[in-house]
Structure 1
Amino acid sequence: MKKNTKLASYFTLTTCFFSVNLQAKNLTIALGNFEPLFSEQGKPALFKDLIDGVYTYLPHRKINYRYMFSNARLVRELNAHTIDGAANIFTQKEIQGCITQPVFAYSDVAISLKSKYYTINSISDLNEKSVVSYQRAILLLGSEYKQAVLRSKHYKEVAQPLEQAKLLSNGMVDVSIGDKYIFLHSLKNHAKNGLKANDFDIHDIFPPVASSIGFNQQKHCDEFDQALIKYKNSGKYQMVYQNYLNQLGFTQ
């Protein structure tokens, strides 16, 4: 009888060990909600591809994704520990856990029609032009930007990236301000006037901005950072960005 009891205890402990070990290998990461950087399940998403690339160097991890979270919900759910990680987080102050090294590079740029031959090499070159941008850009892009657009012919902020693509494509504004991947994705969905990605000039006038993944446990940040270094050194990290530009039709 004692032998059977010991055997049962052994199997119970072994089962618990493997159960805990299995749980330790699975992580739930929530993703943002703006295409094509993040997308619905089953659709291409640039930033998700980057995460997948990093985790190829952590084969013991199985990632369960949750899709289309607003930035506010990402922070709320992470701090409530209903998820293990959240992409994307901009500052440590937002969350109770840790953040990884910067992963997601944003590309806020000025975009103009190539046929206009505009020279835009700095933020001040936005003076005297009509400009459309995303909501709250005047608060987020710094004082130099604010002063420039206040001196512009016309300045408007809109809620939807597609609206920016339409206004610029139709010649209603001179310049659109925003992330180049989001603009090119919106343009692809607005093909009524026949304009293609290469019909536009992209002007890099803003400093780069990057965000991170936030995790509740430091060990998850640490292992991700180590894998991220390997991923970048492989050359595959930058290839993801270039491949998306190619897919969006921009080959300049």
Structure 2
Amino acid sequence: MKVILFFMLFGLSSAALAFAKDQASSTIHVAANPTISPYVISYNDSGIQIEIVKAALRDQKINDIKVHYMANQRSDSSLVQGSIDIALNYTGNLIAGVYKSESVINYENVVVSLKRKNFTIDSVYQLATKSVLAFQNAPVFLPQEFGNNLHSLGGYEEVLNQQAQIHHLMAGWVDTIIIDRRIFFYYLKEYQKNHTTQDYVIHTIFPFSEMPAYFNDDGLRSRFDKGLANIIQSGEYRTIMLNLDKQYTQRDFTRF
């Protein structure tokens, strides 16, 4: 009986080991929106969000990671259909078969206006009558009251290329833009290489937005959360944030 039990346990251990090895050697496919630098930077497969995801997976011995760059809607359908394993900017409903991780990073969406306009903007309601140029699918990521008051705006448009938001603001073509603070500073730095900029004001009227990753396998999601917790505890997470903030925005966002 003991011999039989030994071989049963040995068989189970071998199977578990083989499964873990297979998981470690399998390619994990990640979908990311290429327009959200410095969180995702397609030309070098890097960016703050990408590097945190890679580090959390590597902590779990998952080293073969391939990033695919696509718009949010395509990312959503690819996750549900199973052609990718992780979506970083899922905008669909949390349906059966889609699993949300702990927050990978906090975004801080802000309103930016030109200082010469002398706007007072302390709430969504003070955007009334002003023209707004926002990022794609902004109402999905902003408080519900923003979406409920789009009708009161002087004009509202969304752009896929967030670099265009900087140009439109500085040219005076729109009253305000809504953009994440890090993304604003990243593209402002790029814009200043070839253009003169005007003084601006950042209005912080929105709460931080937690940005989890989304999975179609709950086991992988669980391992990712464990890896994420480990790199936060070890200090690797903070090191990634500080180094890449300095590299891409020339600012220190130590409160994140």
TM-score (norm 2): 0.73
Letter paired with 2:55? G
- Call closer, same or farther: CA 1:243–1:122 in 2, change over 3 Å: farther
Q: Corresponding residue for 2:225?
A: 225
User: Which shows bigger deviation, 98-107 or 220-229?
Assistant: 98-107
Q: Corresponding residue for 2:47?
A: 45
Q: Deviations over 1:11-51 (max 9, x none)?
A: xxxxx998765422134131212231223252532210111
Q: Percent identity?
A: 24
- Call closer, same or farther: CA 1:84–1:156 in 2, change over 3 Å: closer
Distance in 2, Cα, partners of 1:171 & 1:239 = 38
Say whether residues 1:25 and 2:24 are aligned partners: yes
Q: Corresponding residue for 2:125?
A: 124
Distance in 1, Cα, partners of 2:233 & 2:18 = 35
User: Which shows bigger deviation, 71-80 or 215-224?
Assistant: 71-80
CA RMSD of aligned residues (A): 3.4
User: Which shows bigger deviation, 111-120 or 61-70?
Assistant: 111-120
- Call closer, same or farther: CA 1:215–1:145 in 2, change over 3 Å: closer
Distance in 2, Cα, partners of 1:163 & 1:55 = 33
Q: Corresponding residue for 1:78?
A: 79
Letter paired with 1:208? F
What residue ranges of structure 2 are gaps of 5+ in the alignment?
1-14
CA contact (8 A) 2:139 2:147 kept: yes
1:241 to partner: Cα distance: 4.2
Distance in 2, Cα, partners of 1:115 & 1:250 = 24
Could you say what secondary structure the match of 2:94 adopts? Answer: helix
Could you say what secondary structure the match of 1:89 adopts? Answer: coil
Q: Corresponding residue for 2:134?
A: 133
1:141 to partner: Cα distance: 3.6
Question: Rg: which structure is higher?
Answer: 1
User: How many pairs align?
Assistant: 234
TM-score (norm 1): 0.74
What residue ranges of structure 1 are gaps of 5+ in the alignment?
1-15
Counting only pairs closer than 5 Å after superposition, residues 97-116 of structure 1 correspond to structure 2 as 97-114=98-115, 116=117
Counting only pairs closer than 5 Å after superposition, residues 1-252 of structure 1 correspond to structure 2 as 22-26=21-25, 27-33=27-33, 34-36=35-37, 37-40=39-42, 42-58=44-60, 60-89=61-90, 93-94=94-95, 96-114=97-115, 116-137=117-138, 141-142=142-143, 144-146=145-147, 150-191=151-192, 192-195=194-197, 199-246=199-246, 247-250=248-251
Q: Deviations over 1:97-127 (max 9, x none)?
A: 4332222422221112345554433222323
Letter paired with 1:218? D
Q: Corresponding residue for 1:7?
A: none
